[in-house]
């Protein structure tokens, strides 16, 4: 059985993903040059990007970047500030009332650590942000992380592990050393 957390590069599936990335990059480039007061145009392009209607209570301020779009799920009353990047190949789910600060990165795909494996596949794991959570400016959330309901992630944090509900986390990620032979 194939590993659902890996997407192999030299496959027909990757070719379809690459086509989607090119298409969505075109849509986001159009989104990011719209006049700011063109709310209807912004909503239409965001709906095209995510492949379904954007909930009317969701606000996404451009510039906004994503690589796939179809794996982003917005709850109601979500606010995404300017200059955010959502790499959603692993899936990104935002619960109701989530607040995302400017320059935040939600990255649900990655490359293998071993150099010999990097040209072969990417890894994917979903990101889930619980209802009422708030991510400050410049936060980066890495693949497979769940941030619990009502949690707060302070500005500039790199989130590598799950955050329990109603918890405040701040500061850079801790470093863990691993070595390997390639």
The residues annotated with a catalytic role in the active site are: 111
Q: Which burial class, exposed, middle or buried, applies to 9 when counting CB atoms under 10 A from its CB (0-12, 13-18, 19+)? A: middle
Report residue 60 as tokens.
Answer: 């996404």
Residue 100 CA to residue 80 CA, distance in Å, equals: 5
């Amino acid at each position: 059985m194939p590993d659902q957390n890996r997407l192999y590069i030299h496959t027909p599936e990757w070719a379809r993903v690459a086509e989607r990335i090119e298409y969505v990059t075109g849509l986001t480039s159009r989104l990011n040059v719209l006049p700011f007061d063109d709310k209807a145009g912004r909503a239409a392009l965001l709906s095209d990007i995510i492949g379904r209607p954007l909930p009317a209570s969701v606000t996404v301020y451009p510039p906004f970047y994503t690589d796939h779009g179809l794996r982003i799920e917005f709850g109601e009353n979500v606010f995404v500030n300017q200059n955010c990047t959502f790499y959603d190949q692993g899936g990104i789910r935002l619960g109701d009332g989530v607040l995302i600060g400017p320059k935040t990165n939600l990255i649900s795909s990655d490359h293998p650590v071993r150099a010999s494996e990097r040209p072969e596949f990417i890894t994917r794991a979903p990101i889930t942000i619980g209802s009422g959570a708030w991510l400050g400016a410049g936060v980066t959330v890495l693949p497979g992380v769940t941030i619990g309901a009502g949690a707060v992630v302070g500005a500039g944090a790199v989130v590598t592990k799950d955050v329990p509900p109603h918890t405040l986390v701040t500061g850079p990620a801790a470093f863990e050393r691993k070595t390997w032979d390639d």
